[in-house]
Chains A and B, each alone.
Chain A
């Protein structure tokens, strides 16, 4: 693995862990259940610990040092020695941001801001902390300082260390580990080496020795864990506090006799079960029988408890197996290559199908059908590999909404629905910025401050809902708030002022709402740091349309606003409707097509410069592609109209012929053709000719 690949793997690992940190601390903040809060704190601690470890492996010493202090504070919290507070949560979030900053800058020293964060976290979790003790130097020095903080408290740990067979090959040094352990305190070791095979049967690369140790020290468990930090995955390790004594307190003569009995120690070490101990001691049956015998519980209660115990064990075992199985990390580049190859295969299959028809060969046709079926399956499976749940994007908004609302002095409840809805990875990546902008708008201009909401009879806490769901070949994402809604009158005035519409234009409410997507359009009374410059929504629309999606707005003044995005599931291969105009073939994305029908001229009217078709009593505007694409020559006697659903409305496209559905592998236009009007891409047909993919949205606009 070369350095670039290693660094990429490191970046991915850290990004995931930082995501886990952010998610966990926000769960801590929002949790009402102490058990859930505790679980979230533990997850947070483990993620920080892992970041510390891998940062150390890659030489990010400042990150290691910084994270070490954060971890120390979190350890006090998870052990119940320090409370969770809003300030603590804020500083943990700041720690998250500081870690990103340290990594990006490859800092040689922790900046002032980072030191401030550490000091505040220390103050919040250790009332007796003195900042002079917090020096940022070598780890050895830090260990000394921390043991001074614990002066008087002597801790004894049982350490079971069993290297895996592959330990030697991993490059870890047992000698180094023991040198560090010996430096921590007084250690009694028991090495198990009876199972070392004789020399003629030994595989010298395999470790056959394991250790039980008892370490008496003044350091906390984490210091001991740090000794094994690089070997954690190469051994079975257990570190358990078994005794804790305040050196400054005289416990009297009987203290040495007050430790556990032999049987209890054996149970503690796992050498003996509690049941076995009880059997041996009393030569009687299990605790359940004893309790029944003593009339403390009914037999049926014991039976029910045993069934529950067995069931939970079974469920946890199954869950663990499912979670541990079959996930593999693959570079996105490899997936892209695979999709590209599948695309070529689809094109080749189309060529084969075309040849089969031309040659009228039954055998070739049969093979072609088999290949088509296999290629369809392969296409679907390949596309599904690229699918990622949108929940990962939604989760990042928790922090965004929290921070924005905090800055604006608003209280906002963020609901997320349909997080497991899957989208193509590329679509999700490119969707993030537009969604951020929409959410920021909603928080800044949509949802009112608490007192304003109460004044109009609303709850003081605003609601913002992100929802994703599949609708056919699209994913529909809505961002809905119960804020002030759009002031349609104001929008109309602004549009007239900017000559976007004439003063006598008649627009529906929906069409008026869509005016906000015009470049530079903003009705904001003031420009805030967050939004209001009017440069956002037009870019949002462009970004969505670049994804072959559409955006629409529904709003009611005083009640709220709902923005709906419709996005294709994938960008690489789509189902298209092939149409013919003159001698050329075009593709219309099938997901936009509602229906096709013959154009009945008796139902056509021309109203105010627009072609309108009477479609079952409804006025349907339509576009003649021959005219739009500047074709000369006469149209066929009977033309056909393809009715599409675009930007929340229906529009028809008149073509010469509708050919049929076509599995369309999208090829990008070259740089010379990128500015081509009304065309978003191309595809290669079975006979090798090129069909252009119509940019339906631009045609409609």
Chain B
């Protein structure tokens, strides 16, 4: 399976931004993905994270996703995983890992 590029979309909503991850989050792509994630989360704001477009994921990719959580929280910001894809959910179940609970509340 060829590695795809991982375009990011961030859109502003006051002090909260959407962070969308799409494509493959696997060992072959994590390096590039890491750079894009860091670029997309430069601002010290809260993030609503959408993983529904992640097409394939391995433990290296999952580890990277968890690392972005720590990165955001170390800046005293909040995050919430809005949606996740089947492959990510499956991997979480397989590995016994769970996304951290978030205290980010999105006001409608």
Contact = CB atoms under 8 A, between A and B. Distances in A.
A179 interface: yes
A204 B95 contact: no
A209 B94 contact: no
A174 B33 CA distance: 20
A205 B32 CA distance: 12
B37 to A, nearest CB: 6
A198 interface: yes
B97 A197 contact: no
B27 to A, nearest CB: 5
Contact of B95 (A174, A188, A196): A174
Given A198-B70, A198-B74, A199-B71, A208 B63 contact: yes
Q: Chain A interface: which size bin?
A: 20 to 34
B31 A204 contact: yes
A193 B58 contact: no
Contacts of B63: 193, 196, 202, 204, 207-209
Contacts of B27: 168, 204-205
A189 B95 CA distance: 7
Chain A binding site: helix, strand, loop or mixed by DSSP? Answer: mixed
A56 B41 CA distance: 45
A199 B41 CA distance: 10
A12 interface: no
Contact of B96 (A189, A202, A204): A189
A557 interface: no
Nearest to B61: A204
A240 interface: no
B81 to A, nearest CB: 15
B49 interface: no
Interface in A173-198: 173-175, 178-179, 182, 188-191, 193, 196-198
Which of B30, B38, B94: most chain A CB closer than 10 A?
Answer: B94
Q: Chain B interface: which size bin?
A: 20 to 34
Contacts of B45: none
Contacts of B94: 175, 178-179, 182
A150 to B, nearest CB: 25
Interface in B83-108: 91, 94-97
B53 interface: no
Contact of B70 (A168, A178, A197, A213): A197
B64 interface: yes
Nearest to B96: A189
Nearest to B70: A198
A200 interface: yes
Nearest to A188: B96
Contacts of B6: none
Interface string B20-36: 00000001001101100
Contacts of A188: 96
A200 B67 CA distance: 8
Contacts of B41: 199
Given A198-B74, A209-B95, 7 more contacts: A175-B91, A178-B95, A191-B97, A193-B63, A199-B37, A202-B63, A202-B64
Interface of B: 27, 30-31, 33-34, 37-38, 41, 58-60, 63-64, 66-68, 70-71, 74, 91, 94-97
Q: Nearest 3 CB-CB pairs, A to B?
A: A189-B96, A204-B30, A199-B71
25 contacts: A168-B27, A168-B60, A174-B58, A175-B58, A175-B59, A175-B95, A190-B96, A191-B95, A193-B66, A196-B67, A197-B70, A198-B70, A198-B71, A199-B38, A199-B64, A199-B68, A200-B71, A202-B63, A204-B33, A204-B34, A204-B63, A204-B67, A205-B60, A211-B95, A213-B96
